[in-house]
Amino acid sequence: MAFASFRDFIQQLNRAGELKLISQPVATELEITELADREMKSPGGGKALLIEKPTVNGAMSPFPVAINTMGSHKRMAMSLGANSVDEVAAELGSLMKAKPPQSFRDGMNLLRQGIDLLHARPRMVKEAPCHEVIHRLDKNQNDFSLHDLPILKCWPQDGGRFITLPTVYTKDPDTGVRNVGMYRMQIYDGATTGMHWQIHKVGARHGKRYYERGEPMPVAVALGGDPVLTLAATAPLPDGIDEILVSSP
């Protein structure tokens, strides 16, 4: 991974002259996406936009909104820590056929093919930056609402506000294999979303198996993070290939 956080990526875009700062208030309903649509249609994909004062139902959100951050070949390459997208195309092609090494011998075999994936074996951590601030939504403590987040309404005929660029983490209940996908999520209320995934998606297959087993399905959703995770979640990898593998350095 090229960046420790999404903040680091935004700062790099700014240093590279690839970021426009918008300091005046802009509404999360239609206005931000209208600005982004104009920018995306500019020559070369325009610039990334950082909305410093997004408003939700007229109230200022404490969270800024970054949009069009990977809307050009240059910014996509920057998110990968590469000089160009073509520079990593061959490696991604190899990853499409590879599986994470489960032993030292597996790792050595991959190295002989020129694929450095020894580090790709899943590793558990007990502490991470995402644990620094914890809000809970339950019957005993309710100090968080989805309405606090500057989630956008993109188009006039949309049914509401949608999270459009989440990384969605699910696990196969039979094999334990992880999947990272990207599925549009509609905000229903301060505590509930709807997850939209087509029937051919891996996340949908996982959900079907949990339903058949009569078990609740654990799902984790991340917003932000290293931008390569966002790209990995959209990669058309074969079922069973861990997208974290693609995001590895």
Residues 57, 61, 67, CA angle at the centre, nearest 5°? 95
Co-location of 162 and 218 in the same domain: yes
Q: Looking at the structure, do residues 68 and 128 belong to the same domain, yes or no?
A: no
Q: Provide mean pLDDT across the span 18-44.
A: 96
One domain for residues 223 and 136 = yes
Say yes or no: 41 and 152 in one domain.
no
pLDDT of residue 205: 95
Tell me the whole-structure pTM to 2 decimals: 0.83
Residues 142 and 232 in one domain: yes
d(CA 161, CA 110): 44
Is the domain of 131 the same as that of 63?
no
Assess whether 169 and 227 both reside in one domain. Answer: yes
What's residue 123's pLDDT?
66
pLDDT for position 118:
47
Contact 180, 232 (CB under 8 A): yes
Closest CA to 220 of 202, 241, 203: 203
140 with 192, same domain: the answer is yes
| Residue 208: pLDDT over 70 | yes
| 141-155: pLDDT as tens digits | 667 889 889 999 999
Whether residue 107 has pLDDT greater than 60? no
Say if 231 falls within a structural domain.
yes
Query: Are both 66 and 181 inside the same structural domain?
Result: no
Dihedral sign from CA coordinates of 5, 222, 67, 91: positive
Are 135 and 224 in the same domain? yes
Tens digits of residue pLDDT in 229-241: 898 888 877 777 7
59 & 150 share domain: no
Domain that holds residue 126: 121-247
Is residue 99 situated within a structural domain? no
Whether residue 39 has pLDDT greater than 70: yes
The pLDDT of residue 20 is: 98
Where does a domain end: 60, 77, 94?
A: 77
* Count of the separate structural domains present in the chain: 2
Residues whose CB is less than 8 angstroms from the CB of residue 2 and which lie 6 or more positions away in sequence, other chains included: 9, 78, 79, 80, 81, 226, 228, 249
Band of residue 32 on the pLDDT scale cut at 50, 70, 90: very high
Q: Is residue 114 part of a domain?
A: no
